[in-house]
Structure 1
């Protein structure tokens, strides 16, 4: 029997999940010391989640980005800004901490309803602004989905862990 190897995209995704957890559990002090404006603004939106949101729950990723949705609609999104933070760099920007890239684009989202293959939500916290702006995730049949949010020029294609290798980047 052939031993299983862990795909590179799974390792990258795992690292991003750890970084997301660090961001939302209080590690902002070290990052904000590098660039004080990294701490996101917040807003509160209350709504009961749609039970169909379970179909969207899980981890969605692409090269440099990850969207993690819980069955109750709570979600986090991180993405590389591909701009390094320094005194002259506008937000969002990425930083390196102990040889780990901390993505500059970070959002807390709340998905509240699903219609067919589309889940709809709102930005609650963000390093790029647009608090209260709409977001959506549209599922496709090939283990991919299109994530749409105000700051993107076009929807970002994300994959789940069953998508074909290479479909969503390294």
Structure 2
């Protein structure tokens, strides 16, 4: 999820949240992934290597990141950011964004649609929700140490 779009959306969403706008399908713009800092204890979504393809693992990571972000679970979402993104945004900055998203949305949302273009360890993922304002188009993901990480920073 793009940080600039999300930050703008949070500002608009925060103003509208008191009026019930957060439940509106045309509500605030996308909310960015959570941030908490690299942690070896942060859950890392992956399916057993013997039963899941790389595409399945990517989709599982995308849903895990989305779930963490929209529920305000900054620690998990930050753990799903690429190393490059963790270097560019502190856990404190990211946590504030993710906690705001959690207050705005409060629950995980199922993906309405999902598609990915994968090339080796890089992917561009497009996914949509029932709430159009948080749809993601060609979001960058990268595979690091065998696991997929959101790389939109």
Does the pair score TM above 0.5?
Answer: no
The structure that has the greater radius of gyration is 1
User: Which has the larger share of strand?
Assistant: 1
User: Which has the larger share of helix?
Assistant: 2
Q: Shorter-chain-normalised TM-score: which range?
A: 0.3 to 0.5
TM-score scaled by structure 2?
A: 0.36
TM-score scaled by structure 1?
A: 0.33
Q: Which has the higher contact order (CA 8 A, sep 6+)?
A: 2
